Amino acid sequence: MPYSPVMSDSARIRFAVCTMMYFAQGIPAGLLGIAMPTWLAAQGVSAGQIASYMAVIVLPWAFKLVTGPFMDRYEYLPMGRRRPWVLGSQLGLAMSLLALLLIDDAANQIGLLMLCGVLINSFAATQDVAVDGMAIDLVPEGEQGRLNAFMSFGKAIGWACSSAASGIILVTWGLGSAAILAAAVAGLVLVVFTLVRERAGERVLPWSKGEAATSHVDSKSFFTIFRGLGGVLLSRISLVVIFIMFLDGLVGGYGQALMPIAAVKLFGYTTPQWSQLVATMGLVGALMALGLGPLIDRFGAKRMLFFTVAVTAAHAFVLAGTQHYWQDSTYVKIMLAIWVILGPVTMVCAIAIAMAICSPAVSATQFAIYMSIANLGASMGSKIYGLVAESTNYAQHYALMGMIVLVTLLVILFYRARPASSRTETSMPVGNKSGPY
């Protein structure tokens, strides 16, 4: 059998593969979630319509928990426990980006644009669930903080590069050209991932030579999965994490709708200018997030999350109370840059908190539920901004965001992490392993 990298054998390979797959998730995020709203705003589309667009296209991420049980239940083990799901969803992502070629006039085809966004994000969300499940299966707990940092770094690089390129291409050549480039890059990621295996001896492709390195667990029926989830999700620590993830998503969705609209309609940015700012500061945020991994492992995800969320609250209130500086382009650029940087930094800490309490027996489903709740919050956050955008001013918009962040801080105080030993003892084995990965 020709050599191919094996994730279970090397931390470097695990980190590289997960970073690459999160990079792929950033491609539609940069195009649909960063460049597109500013492009629509520059074409005169109302804040309410843009916010509704943002709220709708993120919905697949809110309902990706539907995919988790299928991944925990149905496996093609000769190619790996999660790898076939990753391959299929990445192929769908590359193909679905080409659906944007159907749109001739995005400003007057918002409904079709929403449908295309939902289709694209459905595949992106499925890929995310599969990669997260694969990471939890293969990565030792002591590596999770660093892995979260690398994955967030990869996604930040993805949406930063995608938004920068899309911002220029949308204005210069149109949506069709941006879609073709995005699909080509997603396809390249698919080709590279095809060469990687989860465990030694597994098949690279269905018709390749190889055999399963793990075995099925007969008791893993849907009933077993959901019965196990009931006790896990209703625990005190899980309920606190659910609230944290929802509120964190609410803040993110609200800001993702507010910031690009304000950049164009209030601060006078063009689509390429905003996209390039997001790209540059996204890279800075990604590097900072990468450095957070060891700090999370050392000081704990709760402390780091509390700190980053506190900075987010301060930023929102400062921006709301300094209207007299809004005419200063340097001040505005700095404040917008800080917002972009805080995104990947906060995400690393929130993901670490959720991943730390997942039971390996139902890891894909449980983690998908936490992330789905965060994305449901993001959808609601965008919609909330759309509802208040026309009846309030921008200072009030920022103040409201700050108040939501303060509520998040209060909930974080109730988080009490379980000792690692208790997670190990209460976890069911995965495959033929005797304990958690």
**Mean pLDDT over residues 164-170, rounded?**
95
pLDDT of 44 above 80 = yes
Q: Residue 291: what pLDDT?
A: 74
Whole-number percent of the chain with pLDDT over 70: 87
The DSSP string of 370-418 is HHHHHHHHHHHHHHHHHHHHTTS-HHHHHHHHHHHHHHHHHHHTT--PP
Q: How confident is the model at residue 52 (pLDDT cuts 50, 70, 90)?
A: very high
CA distance 53 to 247: 20
Q: DSSP letter string over 200-252?
A: TT--SSTTSS---SS---TT--HHHHHHHHHHHHTSHHHHHHHHHHHHHHHHH
Segment of 6-20, 58-72, 288-302, 407-421 carrying the highest mean pLDDT: 6-20
CA 311, CA 153: separation in Å to the nearest integer?
Answer: 20
The pLDDT value recorded for residue 336 is: 92
The confidence score (pLDDT) of residue 417 equals 63
Are 86 and 127 spatial neighbours (Cβ–Cβ below 8 Å)?
A: yes
Q: Are 285 and 155 in contact (CB under 8 A)?
A: no
Are the C-beta atoms of 11 and 143 separated by less than 8 Å?
yes
pLDDT at 215: 64
Q: With bands split at pLDDT 50, 70 and 90, how would you rate the model's confidence at 416?
A: confident
The sign one gets for the Cα dihedral 256, 63, 152, 352 is: positive
pLDDT tens readout for residues 235-244: 888 889 999 9
Question: Which of these ranges, 121-135, 138-152, 179-193, has the smallest mean pLDDT?
Answer: 138-152
Of 85, 37, 39, nearest to 58 by C-alpha is 37
Query: What pLDDT score was predicted for residue 69?
Result: 72
48-65 mean pLDDT: 90
pTM of the model as a whole: 0.82
> Is 197 in a helix, a strand, or coil?
strand
pLDDT given for residue 319 in this prediction: 94
Nearest Cα residue to 352 out of 400, 417, 398, 435: 417
Q: What share of the chain is helix, strand, coil (3-state, %, to 5)?
A: 80, 0, 20
Q: How confident is the model at residue 228 (pLDDT cuts 50, 70, 90)?
A: low
Instruction: Tell me the pLDDT band of 223, cut-offs 50, 70 and 90.
Output: low
How high does pLDDT run on average in the chain? 85
* pLDDT reported for residue 210: 73
- The CATH architecture assigned to 8-417 reads Up-down Bundle (1.20)
The pLDDT assigned to 281 comes to 87
Q: What is the mean pLDDT of residues 93-114?
A: 95
Note the helical H segments in 300-362.
301-320, 329-356
Minimum mean pLDDT among 196-200, 205-209, 373-377, 421-425: which range? 421-425
Choice between 139 and 25, residue whose per-residue pLDDT is larger: 25
Which 3 state secondary structure label does DSSP give 121? Answer: helix
Above pLDDT 90, what percent of the chain?
53
Element (H, E) at 160: helix 144-172
Compare 102 and 208 and report the one with higher pLDDT. Answer: 102
Q: What is the pLDDT of residue 431?
A: 31
Segment of 65-69, 280-284, 291-295 carrying the highest mean pLDDT: 280-284
User: In the predicted model, what is the mean pLDDT of residues 276-292?
Assistant: 81
